[in-house]
Structure 1
């Protein structure tokens, strides 16, 4: 074919300029900093549980883990017996 191309097809789109990825960081920091200050003033103080509440919570978690593991084991044992 006798078609001549205006540019080399191996280098596509040379005439489109690259986008610059310049970010102005100076003002972004100020906005983030001020939003952290405003949000921190609105937050309530974190409430630490009493020792009794913490012990009850730990007891509940460990009890539920124990019984859930036991239930899985009995289910697996039943399945082995049936097969």
Structure 2
């Protein structure tokens, strides 16, 4: 994965991680692999950069640490894989 693809991934997850993106293929994983890590989290999103890398992540639009913490959006990168399918 090159700098341009890394920047495109960053732009995607930092702006709207739940929407499909035209530059890469995204899909929600099914079964146990796609299970959200907790309440408010998305299913696992599989982001595939054409033939070079795959990134699996989950996002939460209203994450809060503790009762007094600020509510904000977060993305958790679960895996980055450079091998072929």
| Structure with the larger helix share | 1
* Superposition TM-score, scaled by structure 2 size: 0.16
Task: Give the alignment's TM-score, normalised by structure 1.
Answer: 0.16
